[in-house]
Chain A
Amino acid sequence: METKIQSPFKLTFWKGVLIIIWILGIIATIIRFSKGLGASTNLSDRFPWGLWIGFDLLCGVGLAAGGFTLATIVYIFHLKRFYPILRPTILTAFLGYIMVIFALLFDLGQPWRIWHMIIYWNPHSVLFEVGWCVMLYTTVLALEFSPIVFEWLGWDKPKKWIHSLIIPLVIAGVILSTLHQSSLGSLYLIMPEKLYPFWYSSIIPFLFFLSAFAVGCAMVIFESHLSYRAFGHRLKMDLLADIGRVMLVTLVVYAILKIQDFSGRGVWSVIFLNRPETYLFWLEALVGVIVPVIMLSIRKIRLSERGLYYVAICTITGFLLNRLNVAVTGMEASSGVHYFPSWMEISITLTIVATGFFVFSLATRYLPIFEHAGEESESESPELAEEILNVDVMPK
């Protein structure tokens, strides 16, 4: 490990990029808060939700879905052999949610009133529910993450307290996650005449949840690969292949639901119209569902580290396309205007993402994120749960 750490003051290519992103981000932030949303964004009364909602909120929350997926696997199903990647996944999820909240502070017209949601309740509002879930789930993630910090500080007692609470915490986390992952889709239920028929559906909450779950799996594979490249730790191939299988099943169920939904609403007649929506929809379907399903069905790819990595990248890209299609492409026709984010919207988004990466790399360097890997899985018998569940791993 130690050998890989470079001097923090050496200017590398990526550090240069980070500094440029930060400088632009600071300029954009100053303009955003001194001149208002009109001067800094391309949003309008016809197009009030743009990149910050479409990418930072919808994609950000989705990409953090690995957190609850893996916590369930490890704690509820007792599949302890997934423990090695639990910590990096929880960290990613936690940072992801913090980033979402930061993005919201830019997007809200009066962010200093964000706490109003705590005192003025409207249980009819999907956004109210999303807000509360994000608030509570970020707290849950902070608590799930806290043992790592306690361990680093050498505080044993608080670590034990959290450990005794972990099951209720994980259960709360799963419930909150399923609720708001699906509710991000429910936000659009109330706009049947606005969202283009490729994406509007009365089952959009279920579609959002399933795609978030699939992308949660993809993120676990992706993170395992990144952590290998950076730190030399990764999941064993059989674990990765298992995640690949779960992802395949999820994507197939998603595809079936989508086909059923299209048939039910008679969308088939418009799927080849020469419109921008059509191209972007097919791109999304191809990259996010069709190609990954085909690749995962091929045994050789499913059993190779590199193959799974490419599948994960495909699925993640398709997922991003889907969320941006819902938030931007699908809303354009009914709004009557064309929306493309301003450089300031893009640069603030980049700043938030880049800072997230930066904090992640700092955390992995100084906190016991990866070192811990073997410890707990060895202390308990990892195979036991599997025997009991009779979950067969890949043929060895």
Chain B
Amino acid sequence: MSNPKALLFDATKCIGCKACFYACKESNKLPQKEKEEEELTNTAYTVVKEKDGVYYRRLCMHCNVPTCASVCPVKAFEKTESGPVIYHDKRCMGCRYCIQACPFGVPTYEWESTKPLVKKCTMCEERQKEGKITACSEACPTGATIFGDRNELLMEARKRIQENPGQYVDHIYGEKEAGGTSVLFLSSVPFEKLGFPTNLIEEPLSDLTWKIMSKIPNYVVVSGVFLYGIYWIINRRMEVTELKNKSKDKE
């Protein structure tokens, strides 16, 4: 995973036309609702939102070390070499730990279905395999969403911040959050204002769990030996005492 693909979204270039929203629906064959979705749902893998005149998108961040893939008990999520975090729907049993744990609140569930699955942006993995770019970046008329190698997009983002002083907050959202993501954001207003979680650690969140989980094999061996040891010692002492008592009785 030396250089995965990524998306760079520049809020200063977004005009709120929702071309990405509709292209995404079409590409993923999602139903059109009478009223456009305003939050991520199982029928909208991306939405365009507005705050104080700033338009911005919400979509799966495609983390470098995804929390969803770490928590899933049946490995239904996978971070691919090329960047996208994909979902193996045949495996999913519907525990919803991914929805509960995702720091960006991305995965959604088919609550109304009797055979529900988790739904989220796939970073157009299928299109990428065909050599195409994501539907949202292809549809974007202003270049607010662009597709490319993560390293190059990071350089591009840094260049934009440096060359346009005052136009951006000095922060590439997604560069380091929760171990870094494959979707990067630039904005003219602080990300906190746009409702992005800004209290995330820079390490992958799965490290927090792994610190404990990795000790389990040791724990099992040590406590197994320890408990058997206690049992054996007490048992042996009881036998010895009983024998002593018996020999005393004989005397």
Contacts and interface: CB of A to CB of B under 8 A. Distances in A.
Contacts of A45: 39-41, 99, 105, 107-109, 111
A75 B231 contact: yes
A129 B72 CA distance: 11
Interface string B40-79: 1100000000000000000000000001001111111000
Contacts of A77: 230, 234
B92, B210, B227: which has the most chain A beta carbons within 10 Å?
Answer: B227
Contacts of B201: 192
Contacts of B115: 109-110
Contacts, number: 174
Nearest to A125: B73
B73 A110 contact: no
A189 B234 contact: no
B113 interface: yes
B73 A381 contact: no
Interface in B172-200: 197, 199-200
Given A36-B113, A190-B70, A120 B91 contact: yes
Interface in B122-168: none
B73 A128 contact: yes
Interface in B197-230: 197, 199-201, 205-206, 208-210, 212-213, 216, 219-220, 223-224, 227-228, 230
B95 A108 contact: yes
B70 A384 contact: no
Contact of B71 (A43, A190, A381, A384): A190
A375 interface: no
A126 interface: yes
A78 B93 contact: no
A173 B66 CA distance: 33
A39 B114 CA distance: 10
Number of chain B interface residues as a range: 35 or more
A34 B67 contact: no
A304 interface: no
A124 B201 CA distance: 19
A282 interface: no
Contact of B74 (A122, A189, A191, A205): A122
B220 A190 contact: no
Contacts of A38: 111-113
A190 B93 contact: no
A174 B223 contact: yes
B100 interface: yes
A174 B95 CA distance: 26
A189 B208 contact: yes
Given A122-B72, A171-B228, A190-B101, A113 B92 contact: yes
B105 A46 contact: yes
Contacts of A191: 100-101, 103, 205
B97 A125 contact: yes
Contacts of A127: 71-73, 95, 97
A316 to B, nearest CB: 26
A190 B105 contact: no
A396 interface: no
Number of chain A interface residues as a range: 35 or more
Nearest to A178: B223
Contacts of A202: 208
A193 B111 contact: no
A116 interface: yes
A72 B238 CA distance: 17
B38 to A, nearest CB: 13
Given A78-B238, A113-B93, A171-B224, A125 B212 contact: no
Contacts of B228: 167, 171
Contacts of B219: 175, 179
B116 A190 contact: no
A37 interface: yes
B71, B72, B74, B231: which has the most chain A beta carbons within 10 Å?
Answer: B74
A45, A120, A122, A205: which has the most chain B beta carbons within 10 Å?
Answer: A45
Interface string A176-196: 001100000011011111100
Given A37-B111, A122-B72, A124-B213, A389 B223 contact: no
A252 interface: no
Nearest to A186: B212
A205 B199 CA distance: 23
A392 B104 CA distance: 55
Contact of A387 (B72, B209, B212, B241): B241
A123 B72 CA distance: 10
Interface in B20-46: 39-41
Interface string A14-47: 0000000000000000000111111100011110
Contacts of B200: 193
B191 to A, nearest CB: 14
Given A38-B112, A122-B75, A186-B209, 18 more contacts: A36-B111, A48-B100, A48-B109, A75-B231, A108-B94, A116-B91, A117-B73, A117-B74, A124-B70, A124-B209, A128-B74, A167-B228, A175-B223, A179-B216, A190-B71, A190-B205, A192-B205, A192-B208
Nearest 10 A/B pairs, CB to CB:
A109-B94, A38-B111, A128-B73, A113-B93, A120-B74, A48-B96, A48-B99, A109-B116, A127-B73, A122-B75
6 contacts: A44-B111, A110-B94, A124-B210, A127-B97, A187-B97, A191-B103
Interface of B: 39-41, 67, 70-76, 91-97, 99-101, 103, 105, 107-117, 197, 199-201, 205-206, 208-210, 212-213, 216, 219-220, 223-224, 227-228, 230-231, 234-235, 237-238, 241-242
Interface of A: 33-39, 43-46, 48-49, 72, 75-78, 107-111, 113-114, 116-117, 120-129, 131, 167, 171, 174-175, 178-179, 186-187, 189-194, 202, 205, 381, 384-385, 387-389
